[in-house]
């Protein structure tokens, strides 16, 4: 019998009894979680990724999923659910049981960019999701075409300020972290920079090498080979500090205080997931990304492991949302249909 629809027909049932039954039913999931947490997981766990295979969140999900499979003894399976700027993945997560067997592995765009770009999202980050762990960050780098008349970040800024016609820059698309990095820099320094969107770095970087644009923003693995051949000049990184991946490259924050638009990747659970499971998965992720072999593997892919707690990830999402909202508003960026 469904407790939501059943009727109590006997007059002997008291309000106290009703309250006691409601309390017992309400506590049941928590009691079950408390009983099962020592044996969690008892079956395979899903990592939902809102993009196709091969992207940053997909890569992180597979690396971490393999380590959690080894440490917890049950499979962590990656399921790619691309579409509608993360909405398909969000709806998959929200439609899943709140039992700790389905998580979302995503970059900051779903949590920090989409709420500022879209008026009517099919999800609300704080209402529908629970942060589990800030897994990693991936700094992006600003690079110039090989014959660009500036060789350093400072030279570029000085040149841009006295060039009324401005320069063009390529990004992986409207509203991407790549796009917002340059718009934030443009706004802070009052530069003339014209955006040329591409469908991913796979198109944007070759456009730079082919001198179709003056600048581009991309991850280090996409740029390093061309830089080594003299086909691109890496000028700066968009992370808060110089990246350990390229310590000789200055950070934009050395010119613009607190500038930080490095991509974040984290794990989230659907709201209502037992806290004990959230904390256990968070702790396991932190242990996994601190393993020397995992650090080496991720850094080789241009990713800096973090392993932050659920609370740290929640603060990171809030901070990131505030930072992204500024260039979105300043540039009047609107979502593409």
Predicted confidence at residue 4, as pLDDT, reads 37
Residue 144 sits in a domain whose CATH number is: 3.40.190.10
Query: What is the phi/psi pair of residue 226, to 5°?
Result: -70, -35
Decide if 26 is inside a domain. Answer: no
Q: Report the C-alpha gap between 240 and 243 in whole angstroms.
A: 8
pLDDT digits (tens, 9 = 90+) for 234-266: 999 999 999 999 999 999 999 999 999 999 999
Same domain, 292 and 312: yes
Of 189, 220, 254, the residue at which a domain comes to its end is 254
Same domain, 82 and 225: no
Decide if 38 is inside a domain. Answer: no
Residue 125 sits in a domain whose CATH number is: 3.40.190.150
Decide if 158 is inside a domain. Answer: yes
Same domain, 207 and 163: yes
Decide if 336 is inside a domain. Answer: no
Decide if 160 is inside a domain. Answer: yes
Decide if 277 is inside a domain. Answer: yes
Q: Report the C-alpha gap between 282 and 3 in whole angstroms.
A: 34
pLDDT digits (tens, 9 = 90+) for 145-163: 999 999 999 999 999 999 9
Predicted confidence at residue 337, as pLDDT, reads 54
For the cut 60, the answer to whether the pLDDT of residue 17 exceeds it is no
Per-residue confidence at 28, pLDDT binned at 50, 70, 90? very low
Same domain, 276 and 322: yes
CB 70 within 8 A of CB 320: no
Lowest mean pLDDT among 119-123, 204-208, 290-294: 119-123
Domain total for the chain?
A: 2
Q: What is the mean pLDDT of the chain?
A: 89
Q: For residue 124, what are the contacts with CB-CB under 8 A and spacing of at least 6?
A: 115
Same domain, 131 and 146: no
Q: Report the C-alpha gap between 334 and 85 in whole angstroms.
A: 13
Decide if 92 is inside a domain. Answer: yes
Same domain, 204 and 222: yes
Decide if 29 is inside a domain. Answer: no
Same domain, 267 and 131: yes
pLDDT digits (tens, 9 = 90+) for 84-107: 889 999 999 999 999 999 999 999
CA-CA distances (angstroms) from residue 175 to 29, 135, 179, 215, 328? 39, 22, 6, 17, 8
Here the tokens at position 170 are 């390529």
Same domain, 114 and 148: no
Mean pLDDT in residue range 171-184:
95
Domain extent at residue 84: 43-138+262-331
Query: What is the phi/psi pair of residue 328, to 5°?
Result: -60, -45
For the cut 80, the answer to whether the pLDDT of residue 30 exceeds it is no
Same domain, 88 and 144: no
Q: pTM to 2 decimals?
A: 0.85
For the cut 80, the answer to whether the pLDDT of residue 26 exceeds it is no
Mean pLDDT in residue range 17-30:
41
Predicted confidence at residue 38, as pLDDT, reads 86
Lowest mean pLDDT among 27-41, 134-148, 154-168, 186-200: 27-41
First to last CA, the chain: 46
Q: Report the C-alpha gap between 129 and 110 in whole angstroms.
A: 11
Of 225, 254, 283, the residue at which a domain comes to its end is 254
Q: For residue 226, what are the contacts with CB-CB under 8 A and spacing of at least 6?
A: 143, 205, 208, 209, 232
Of 192, 220, 254, the residue at which a domain comes to its end is 254
Same domain, 134 and 145: no
Q: Report the C-alpha gap between 172 and 176 in whole angstroms.
A: 7
Predicted confidence at residue 336, as pLDDT, reads 63
Same domain, 150 and 232: yes
Burial 64-74 (b: 16+ CB within 10 A, else e): bbbbbbeeeee
Per-residue confidence at 298, pLDDT binned at 50, 70, 90? very high
Same domain, 54 and 92: yes
């Amino acid at each position: 019998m469904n407790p939501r629809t059943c009727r109590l027909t006997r007059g002997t049932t008291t309000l106290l009894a009703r309250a006691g039954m409601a309390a017992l039913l309400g506590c049941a999931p928590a009691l079950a979680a408390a009983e099962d947490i020592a044996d969690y997981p008892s079956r395979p766990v899903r990592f939902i990724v809102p993009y196709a295979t091969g992207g940053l969140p997909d890569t992180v999900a597979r690396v971490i999923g393999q380590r959690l499979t080894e440490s917890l003894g049950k499979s962590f399976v990656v399921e790619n659910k691309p579409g509608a700027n993360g909405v398909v993945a969000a709806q998959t997560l929200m439609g899943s049981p709140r039992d700790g067997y389905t998580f979302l592995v995503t970059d900051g765009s779903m949590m920090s960019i989409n709420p500022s770009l879209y008026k009517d999202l099919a999800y609300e980050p704080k209402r529908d999701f629970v942060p589990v762990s800030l897994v990693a960050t991936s700094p992006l780098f600003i690079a110039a075409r090989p014959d660009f008349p500036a060789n350093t970040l400072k030279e570029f800024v000085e040149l841009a300020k006295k060039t009324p016609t401005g320069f063009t820059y390529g990004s992986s698309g409207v509203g991407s972290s790549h796009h917002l990095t340059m718009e934030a820099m443009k706004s802070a320094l009052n530069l003339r920079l014209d955006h040329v969107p591409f469908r991913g770095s796979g198109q944007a970087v070759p456009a730079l090498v082919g001198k179709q644009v003056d600048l581009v923003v991309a991850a280090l693995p996409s740029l390093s080979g061309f830089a080594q051949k003299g086909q691109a000049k890496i000028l700066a990184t968009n992370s808060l500090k110089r990246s350990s991946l390229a310590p000789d490259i200055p950070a934009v924050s050395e010119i613009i205080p607190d500038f930080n638009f490095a991509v974040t990747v984290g794990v989230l659970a659907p709201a209502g997931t037992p806290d004990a499971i959230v904390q256990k998965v968070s702790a396991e992720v932190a242990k996994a990304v601190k393993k020397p072999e995992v650090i080496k593997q991720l850094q080789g892919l241009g990713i800096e492991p973090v392993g932050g707690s659920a609370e740290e990830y929640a603060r990171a999402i809030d901070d990131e949302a505030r930072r992204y909202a500024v260039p979105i508003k300043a540039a009047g960026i609107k979502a593409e249909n």
